[in-house]
């Protein structure tokens, strides 16, 4: 089998295609959550936090050194507001993915728990065995 045909067989397997679709949908979902966090959630909690925009929080370790309008040395800034915003987005995405997987596992478990009834001849043989064991 040639390498190209082997790769084609590998690429066309259902689980690889399913994984690719999952990655694309996950990336799109991440974009939606980020838009929700930046456009709805953060502005909504800003009044609760006294009007502070969480995404714009930063700590300046050292100021920029200027010579007129020319920047000699850039400011050293820790931008932890963006990190907090990203962390909230991650927690929301992780929770939603957890709930989806939990639902899928529950559905699969329900399918597995329903065993098929044994065939009639096995039931009859078990009854005969039990009767013989009593004698």
pLDDT at residue 55, rounded to an integer: 76
Q: At what angle do helices 80-113 and 14-36 cross, to 10 degrees?
A: 140
Question: What number of helices (H) and strands (E) belong to the chain?
Answer: 5, 4
For 49, the 3-state DSSP assignment is coil
> Alpha-carbon distance 74 to 64, whole Å?
5
CATH at 47: 1.10.1200.120
- Number of structural domains (the chain) is 1
Provide the residue range defining the domain that includes 26: 3-134
Per residue of the chain (135 residues), give pLDDT as tens.
688 888 777 777 767 777 888 888 888 888 888 888 888 888 888 888 787 777 788 898 988 888 888 888 888 989 888 888 888 888 888 888 888 888 888 887 777 666 677 788 888 888 888 888 887
Confirm whether pTM is higher than 0.85. Answer: no
């Amino acid at each position: 089998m040639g390498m190209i045909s082997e790769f084609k067989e590998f690429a066309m397997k259902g689980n690889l295609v399913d994984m690719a679709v999952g990655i694309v949908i996950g990336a799109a979902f991440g974009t939606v959550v980020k838009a929700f966090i930046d456009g709805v959630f953060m502005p909504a909690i800003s009044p609760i936090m006294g009007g502070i925009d969480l995404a714009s929080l930063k700590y300046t370790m050292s100021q920029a050194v200027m010579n007129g309008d020319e920047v000699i040395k850039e400011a050293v800034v820790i931008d932890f507001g963006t990190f907090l915003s990203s962390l909230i987005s991650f927690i929301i995405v992780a929770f939603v993915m957890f709930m989806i997987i939990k639902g899928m596992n529950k559905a699969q478990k329900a399918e597995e728990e329903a065993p098929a009834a044994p065939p009639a001849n096995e039931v009859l043989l078990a009854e005969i065995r039990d009767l013989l064991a009593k004698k």
